Every structure is written in structure tokens, then in C-alpha cells.
Structure 1
Amino acid sequence: MEESETVLRPCREDDVAAITAIYAQAVATGRASFEIDPPDEAEMARRRAALVENGYPYLVAERAGSVVAYAYAGPYRARPAYRGTLENSVYVRPDQAGRGLGRRLMERLIAEATEAGFRQMVAVIGDSANAASIGLHAALGFRHVGVLTSVGWKHGTWLDTVLMQRALGSGDGAPPDARGRGPVTGA
């Protein structure tokens, strides 16, 4: 299927089943998420609602009427001083990997977060061997800011967390936007 046949749009409530399936696969077989047990649809719906209701961007990529990838940004940390900083997540269905969906979703996510007045985006990438995610973020202007070594135990091995960061809008060149958000916990 051609890129032009992909629709990027805000995530809707009826997308949760597809998102749950994509994420469940990532949790069960991958190292990008440090969750051990895939959350059920009700939990994924709760997480999505908490973000959307608080004005955080949450997007899906749809092909032939099916959600095949998603991305969202939420609070980096719950304390109020972090309100201008987001953490992003992007997941692509395995059969759609390598087709540029993650990049397109991230480009739009960055644009929407910037428009909403956020100033920094942080990628917390599970597994320092996750070359695809590290490369994607680097290509989108994220810079490597650190590695937390062996902080997660999953699939019988210790995993690192790679931290990457990108300024949004005026970044730290001005005080936070007056539209600051409150914390969303558990998202």
C-alpha cells in the first residue's frame, strides 16, 4: 500500500482495540516497553482518555480502514515544573514496520505538541539495541542525552534505557507557555 493511502488522524475511542493489539504484541515480544504483561483494552482506554482529556496529542495511522500504528505524547513527569516537557511513544504493527509510518506519526506529533505550546520532548527508548527507534529520533532532531544502564529486566536479560531530547518551538529560550498543563498520572 502506498504512503498516500495512509491517513494520519487523531485517535478515537473506537481505535482502542487496535491500539491494544499493537501494544500487546510489543509488550509480549519486544523490548521497547518495560511493561511485562500487556494491559487490557479497558486499561488502554483509560490511559488514552487521560491524555486526550488533558489536551495531549494522540494520533493513529490508518491504512485500508485499519489502525496500523499510533503515537502519543504525555507528561514526562507529574510534578508541575515539568509541565512544558513531554515524553513520546510510537508503536507500529510489525507487518507495517519499515514503511515510514513511525516517522510520519512523529513528525505530526512534534508539530501538534509545538502548536500546543510544549517546549521539550523526551524519548525514553527501551533497549539500547533498539537501533530503529534511536535512528528515527535522531533523524527528527532528537539528541542523545544519556543511557541508564541495566535498569529493566525483561525476557531474561537486563535492558538499558536510552534518553533522547528535542526542543519544541522556542525551547528554553523563553518561559513556559501560559497554557501549561497539569499532571496526568498513570498514563
Structure 2
Amino acid sequence: MASLKSAVFIHTLLIGLLALEVVIYYPKLPDTVASHFGASGQADGWMSKQAFAALAIVFPVALSTLLIAVQASTVYLDRLPAGLINMPNKKYWLAPERRAETMAYMGPLVSRMMLRAGGLSMALIVIIMGLALHANLQPEPRLEYAWPVVVTFLGLILITAVRDIVQVYRRFGRIPQPEV
């Protein structure tokens, strides 16, 4: 549960920072703002500043709600049928006599995985929205520094995913040998 409270805190903080940024930049934005940028950073989609400001808040709030709901649902992980669970040596670890202990370990682990992935995803959205707001303050809107942000995000996601997979394989990768 601590991890869920952390998720709510992190998402609320990030959305709050984005809302503050929208409030600060909104009066300075032109009536029509760039809302989509191509791979080169060049603006290629436009909308009213009112619609953009609404999107900048509504989309992260909706995504955050979804991510937190998925994380909260990890408390029901033990109710999933074995066929929907992917883990090493599944038949052994999900046998009736070991399933409760396995799920007691996996539930918090999956919740922490969701905390990291959700927090990083929200940070990416907030940073990109902030860059888009800043770009619209320029005479020729151009999204600068988006690629380094996205590559850093993907690198962090990859590192955390590998870490989590290693943790699962360390715990469940081998079946204990019976003592003789």
C-alpha cells in the first residue's frame, strides 16, 4: 500500500507542477499554439491555446488515473488464473501449496514496477508538455531537446525493466532441490 500512496503523491506532484506551468505560461501564449511536433521538432499541428491548456491538464490527469488504477489492481494479482501469469517455473511456484507465498512476493514487486513505470511515464508527459509550452513562447515554435528526454526515458525504463526481470529470475528462476 505504501507504494500506491507514493504513486498518488508522485502523480499529484507532477500534475501540480504541470498545472503551475500552464498557469504561468497561459497568459503569454499566442491565441493559436503548436500542439504537435514532428521528429525534427518542427511544429506540424495547431490548436487554440484554450484547447491546448485543457489538453495539457486533462490528458495527464486521465493517464495518471489509469496508471494508479492499474497499480491499485495489483492487490488482486493472487486472483489471476495461472494461465495469465508469466513467470519462470510457473507450475512449481503457482502450485496450490506455494501460490500464496509466491503472490505475497509478486504483488508488492509488481506494484513497485508500476510505480516506477508510471512515475517515469508521467514525468515524460510533464516534461514534454513543459517543452511544448516553452516552444510556443517563441516566434517559430520548435520543440527543442525532446529527443534527449525521450531517449533518457527509454533508457530508464529499460534499466528498471531489466532490474525487475533479474529480480524475478533470481527469486523464481530455480526450483529448490529437496534436501536429502
> Going by fraction, where is helix more abundant, 1 or 2?
2
TM-score relative to the length of structure 1: 0.28
Structure number with greater CO (CA < 8 Å, separation at least 6) is: 2
TM-score relative to the length of structure 2: 0.29
> Going by fraction, where is strand more abundant, 1 or 2?
1
